[in-house]
């Protein structure tokens, strides 16, 4: 077994020494040296490099790299700077770059561009490729039709292994990478698919329909890409044929594209839970970042004012017993953290379809009981702290009771709120945080100050 201490945890990161050398070559205008340094890099690493440098450095690198620019870099690069990169490339370099790409990669690149840039890229494509991209763009945004590629390998479902092999050997226009041969009936409707491994591993006279995969399933072109990614993950698909409303084959989605969507869905949920736009990027400018974050900070301000109004209801009690002002943030903070824990679990379970109508009440009951147990444990701790700190057993008992109440409510709110929002077709990752924070703050302050006012005054 390998010693984990000997494993380089940064081995997949872009080497900063290489980055510095590239920037020095760019500053010196040494195109030969810059090309020599960038040539061994993967397209994804070059995309990372372009994302890490500032606009002037990026423009200089692109001008010097020139004709060596690979189309794969465009598909790897962050959307926030893609337009800038395209503008910095000469028409001839851009044309050559996009011609190397599969149709799904071209669609992914142009769908977020301005109309002028879209036309520039479409004009660089061959006629057949341009038609395929335009047809894909006709499907709804975030649909399987936008995600699929038109390059695929198809054969009649009556073929044998030998006929399939002969067909693939005769044609030099097959996709660079593919996993299945899709079988179709005379109406061009998919009936199954066969892996390349099985084709190569069986005798020539074997019928393809006898060695099809059990995992075969079709995806409608209008289906949401999030559902497509879930299907790939759930059923361990490698590729899946896409069909139109009549069930005819129009394209194929491969696992690499599905996993990109799945990764984007997870990233989107994380950013939205933090009240940050899912379009945020490290390459964004100050003004753009400020505009995206401002609305959610404004929402948090409103919820904070609501909590302050609850506090103002007990200002006489706070003025009389100063210890209340010292202790009340603890109750609200613990409830907020507990609510965030339940909320994160619930939102993730909803996204993966693990939280459903059949188990929702069991999950809610579990979160409430967890809140009760944790609340009781921390109530004992804070009760002792209250007695030692302020010499008041009554005050210790009040904060203990308030802690239990708020932790139970936090567990309840952290689960019920995202479930309710999901039923109302509102993204729970986007809106739940503000509601849960408001509930835990209001309940925490009201429980603690209300009990204190009732018992001590």
Q: Which pTM was predicted?
A: 0.67
Q: Partners of 254 in the beta sheet?
A: 239
Task: Pick 13-138's CATH classification: 1.25.60.10, 3.40.50.720, 1.10.287.610, 3.30.70.2860.
Answer: 1.25.60.10
Give the pLDDT band (50/70/90) at residue 7: very low
User: Hey, what are 132's tokens?
Assistant: 């395929």
> Per residue, what are the HEC states of 71-97?
HHHHHHCCHHHHHHHHHHCCHHHHHHH
* HSE-up of residue 153 (Cα within 13 Å, Cβ side): 25
Stretch among 198-207, 243-252, 332-341 having the lowest mean pLDDT: 332-341
- What is the per-residue pLDDT for 272? 64
- Each residue's pLDDT tens digit, 216-252: 999 999 999 989 998 998 899 999 999 999 999 999 9
Give mean pLDDT, residues 343-372.
87
**Topology classification of domain 286-456:** Tetracycline Repressor; domain 2 (1.10.357)
Question: Is-contact 349 363, C-beta < 8 A?
Answer: yes
Q: What are the C-alpha distances in Å from 312 to residues 164, 307, 315, 440, 450?
A: 78, 9, 5, 17, 12
Residue keyed to tokens 């991209």: 133
Give mean pLDDT, residues 30-50.
92
Q: What is the domain partition of the chain in residue ranges?
A: 13-138, 154-273, 286-456
Task: Pick 154-273's CATH classification: 3.40.50.720, 3.40.140.10, 3.10.580.10, 3.40.50.10490.
Answer: 3.10.580.10
User: Who has greater pLDDT, 84 or 322?
Assistant: 84
- Each residue's pLDDT tens digit, 256-288: 889 888 877 777 666 666 655 555 555 566 776
- Each residue's pLDDT tens digit, 374-420: 999 988 998 888 888 888 888 888 989 998 999 999 999 999 999 99
- Show Cβ contacts of residue 351 under 8 Å, excluding neighbours closer than 6 positions: 265, 266, 269, 429
- Each residue's pLDDT tens digit, 180-190: 999 999 999 99
Give mean pLDDT, residues 3-32.
78
Predicted confidence (pLDDT) at residue 23 exceeds the cutoff of 80: yes
Q: Partners of 182 in the beta sheet?
A: 154, 193
Nearest to 62, CA basis, from 80, 74, 79: 74
Question: Is-contact 125 136, C-beta < 8 A?
Answer: no
Mean pLDDT for all residues in the chain: 86
Q: Is 380 helix (H, G, I), strand (E, B) or coil?
A: helix
Predicted confidence (pLDDT) at residue 1 exceeds the cutoff of 50: no
Angle, helices 323-351 vs 393-423, to 10°: value is: 30
């Amino acid at each position: 077994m390998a010693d984990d201490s000997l494993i380089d945890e940064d081995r997949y990161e872009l080497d900063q020494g290489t980055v510095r050398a590239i920037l020095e070559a760019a500053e010196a205008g040494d195109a030969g040296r810059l090309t020599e340094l960038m040539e061994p890099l993967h397209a994804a690493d070059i995309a990372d490099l372009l994302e890490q440098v500032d606009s002037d450095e990026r423009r200089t690198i692109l001008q010097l790299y020139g004709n060596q620019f690979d189309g794969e870099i465009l598909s790897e690069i962050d959307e926030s700077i893609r337009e800038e990169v395209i503008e910095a490339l000469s028409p001839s370099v851009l044309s050559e770059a996009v011609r190397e790409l599969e149709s799904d990669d071209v669609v992914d690149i142009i769908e977020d561009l301005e109309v002028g840039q879209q036309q520039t890229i479409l004009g660089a494509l061959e006629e057949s490729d341009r038609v395929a991209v335009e047809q894909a763009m006709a499907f709804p945004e975030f649909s399987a039709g936008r995600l699929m590629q038109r390059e695929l390998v198809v054969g009649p479902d009556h073929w044998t292994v030998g006929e399939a092999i002969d067909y693939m050997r005769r044609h030099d226009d097959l996709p660079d990478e593919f996993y299945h041969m899709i079988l179709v009936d005379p109406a061009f409707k998919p009936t199954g698919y066969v892996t390349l491994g099985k084709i190569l591993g069986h005798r020539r006279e074997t019928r393809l329909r006898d060695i099809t995969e059990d995992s075969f399933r079709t995806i409608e072109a209008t289906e949401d890409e999030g559902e497509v990614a879930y299907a790939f993950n759930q059923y361990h698909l490698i590729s899946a044929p896409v069909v139109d409303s009549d069930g005819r084959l129009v394209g194929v989605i491969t696992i690499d594209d599905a996993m990109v969507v799945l990764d984007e869905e997870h990233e989107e949920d994380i950013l939205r839970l933090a009240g940050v736009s899912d379009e945020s990027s490290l390459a964004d400018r100050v003004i753009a970042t400020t505009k995206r974050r401002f609305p959610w900070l404004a929402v948090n301000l409103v919820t904070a004012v609501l909590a302050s109004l609850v506090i103002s209801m007990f200002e006489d009690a706070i003025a009389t017993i100063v210890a209340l002002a010292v202790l009340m943030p603890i109750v609200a903070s613990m409830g907020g953290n507990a609510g965030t824990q339940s909320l994160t679990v619930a939102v993730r379970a909803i996204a993966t379809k693990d939280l459903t109508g059949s188990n929702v009440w069991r999950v809610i009951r579990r979160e409430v009981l967890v809140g009760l147990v944790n609340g009781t444990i921390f109530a004992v701790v804070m009760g002792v702290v209250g007695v030692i700190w302020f010499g008041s057993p009554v005050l210790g008992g009040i904060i203990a009771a308030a802690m239990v109440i708020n932790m139970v409510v936090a567990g309840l709110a952290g689960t019920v709120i995202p479930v309710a929002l999901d039923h109302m077709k509102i993204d729970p990752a986007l809106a739940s945080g503000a509601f849960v924070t408001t509930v835990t703050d209001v309940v925490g302050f009201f429980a603690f100050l209300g009990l204190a006012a009732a018992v001590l005054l």
